[in-house]
Structure 1
Amino acid sequence: MILLLLFPFFSTLHFLSCATRLDQGFFPLAFALVDAEDEANWTWFLMNLSAVLSEDERTITFISDRHKGLLQSVANVFPTSPHGFCIYHIEKNIKTTYPIGFGKTFRKKMVQLFKNCAYSSTPEVFDVNLQILRKKDGGLIDKFFEDLPKENYSDAFFLGANWYESLVMEQHNVEIMQYSEMWSNVAESFNSWIRKERLLPIFQLVESIRVKLMVMNAERRIAAEKWNSYLCPEMENQLDKLLEVGRHWHVSFRVTH
């Protein structure tokens, strides 16, 4: 399973592809320096990325800020890959849907109602939360949703699972798409990571990033050699906590005739 996050970083002239790790870190896979953030450049970037990943049979899930050029490029180069939209960017778009006259409190409330839809665990809960949102909104949000398929942002419809569900499903050879990633600040994290290097000329910038990646990978390898569990320590601890919480739960099944 591969989850890739696609974002421009620190200006519109740089593309970044990162894979997430189960310890909530990131692993930069590829970056490019281009002259514009458009469909042609995104297509070129993704085609080069696909050449590296083409022999891997695992499903590749993309998370992005749904830039128009990027949307079409992902569909063209990776037609079978699920594509999720970053919740953080959608929230920002929702705020701009309502004029200033609606007030900050109202816009904040609408964002929260949308998040209730996005994080709904089942289609039934999603429908209920969506009705609540539309009733509170009064109709303005309907046009916004026309260009926002629920399959691209809602946890109830996007083909995926939580990370602990993913582990069990992977062990039983069940295909999953997502680690319940709904949004990411990976671009900001990467930007902060190369704060000093980003001021360098292009050749020095590329070389500096290459060196930082080598050092990071070496340090992670040394740390991983000390692990003695199937998962990384952070996720192992979270799993232990969840097991403790659910120790006294009783499982019941809904029977329909």
Structure 2
Amino acid sequence: MEDIGLTDGLGVTLMSDQHKGLVEAVKEVFPLAEHRQCARHIYANFRKKYTGIHFRSLFWDASKSRTPQEFEGIMQEIISLSLHAYEHLMERQPSTWSRAFFKIDTSCDAVENGASECFNSLIVSSRRKPIITMLEEIRTLVMERMVRMNNKACNWDDEICPNI
């Protein structure tokens, strides 16, 4: 299953999994939204058939390319290795997973949705509970994290955090 990122024209990126009904519902609510797929999920499926460091490197170069011309150059390298690999990637709509085709007025150029994945893994035990219980558990998790991070920050020797 591939995650899709949706940007609502105001620069807000929404992440969801690829349930067709959900994608269509979001299109109704946000008709100007840019639909994206998580490159990590595209690559996970790609590497099942096309293994090796060269394919991996070329895929990530293609996903992070800045212009359609740069993307095409990288895809030509993939064609030279395997026409089927090229066709496999082109079937997955590069406009949804390569930065070269993202709208330039969007404030998010991420090709992965790691933040959503991290959050989802954090709330696994809460997701199946009634909505109020789930929200209360999420609120508690967030508050506990804020306290932990604040305590950590109090022990810094410098005014700049040690890592992002």
Q: TM-score, normalised by structure 2?
A: 0.66
1:199 Cα deviation from its structure 2 partner: 8.9
Looking at structure 2, the residues matched to 156 and 89 of structure 1 have their Cα atoms a distance apart, in angstroms, of: 18
**What is the total number of aligned residue pairs between the two structures?**
150
Contact 2:40 2:112 in 1 (8 A): yes
Give the secondary-structure state (helix, strand or coil) at the position aligned to 1:62: strand
Mapping for residues 70-81 of structure 1, pairs under 5 Å: 70-81=22-33
Match of 1:170 in 2: none
Q: Which residue identity lines up with residue 154 of structure 1 in the other structure?
A: S
Distance change >3 Å, CA 63–CA 182, structure 1 → 2: farther
Distance change >3 Å, CA 89–CA 199, structure 1 → 2: closer
Match of 2:102 in 1: 158
Distance change >3 Å, CA 152–CA 62, structure 1 → 2: farther
Unpaired runs of 5+ residues, structure 1, are 1-6, 8-16, 18-49, 51-56, 161-175, 224-232, 239-257
Please state if 1:193 is matched with 2:122: yes
Looking at structure 2, the residues matched to 85 and 91 of structure 1 have their Cα atoms a distance apart, in angstroms, of: 11
Distance change >3 Å, CA 116–CA 67, structure 1 → 2: farther
1:146 Cα deviation from its structure 2 partner: 2.7
Looking at structure 2, the residues matched to 192 and 209 of structure 1 have their Cα atoms a distance apart, in angstroms, of: 12
Unpaired runs of 5+ residues, structure 2, are 152-159
Q: Which residue identity lines up with residue 159 of structure 1 in the other structure?
A: K
Looking at structure 1, the residues matched to 102 and 65 of structure 2 have their Cα atoms a distance apart, in angstroms, of: 11
Contact 2:71 2:100 in 1 (8 A): yes
Q: TM-score, normalised by structure 1?
A: 0.46
Match of 2:154 in 1: none
Structure 1 runs of 4+ aligned residues shifted over 6 Å read: none
Distance change >3 Å, CA 178–CA 83, structure 1 → 2: farther
Distance change >3 Å, CA 145–CA 65, structure 1 → 2: farther
* Residue number among 79, 86, 111 corresponding to 2:38 in the alignment: 86
Match of 1:117 in 2: 62
- How big is each residue's C-alpha offset from its partner over 1:188-214, in whole Å with a ceiling of 9 and x where there is no partner? 42244346x53985354332223334x
Please state if 1:208 is matched with 2:137: yes
1:95 Cα deviation from its structure 2 partner: 2.2
Q: Which residue identity lines up with residue 86 of structure 1 in the other structure?
A: C
Match of 2:13 in 1: 61
Higher helix share: 2
Distance change >3 Å, CA 193–CA 137, structure 1 → 2: same
Q: Which residue identity lines up with residue 94 of structure 1 in the other structure?
A: F
Mapping for residues 93-172 of structure 1, pairs under 5 Å: 93-96=45-48, 98=49, 104-105=51-52, 108-148=53-93, 150-160=94-104
* Structure 1 vs Structure 2 CA RMSD: 3.8
Give the greater-gyration-radius structure (CA). Answer: 1
Contact 1:65 1:85 in 2 (8 A): no
Contact 1:123 1:156 in 2 (8 A): yes
Looking at structure 1, the residues matched to 15 and 123 of structure 2 have their Cα atoms a distance apart, in angstroms, of: 22
- How big is each residue's C-alpha offset from its partner over 1:58-82, in whole Å with a ceiling of 9 and x where there is no partner? 3433345544344333322211022
Give the secondary-structure state (helix, strand or coil) at the position aligned to 2:66: coil
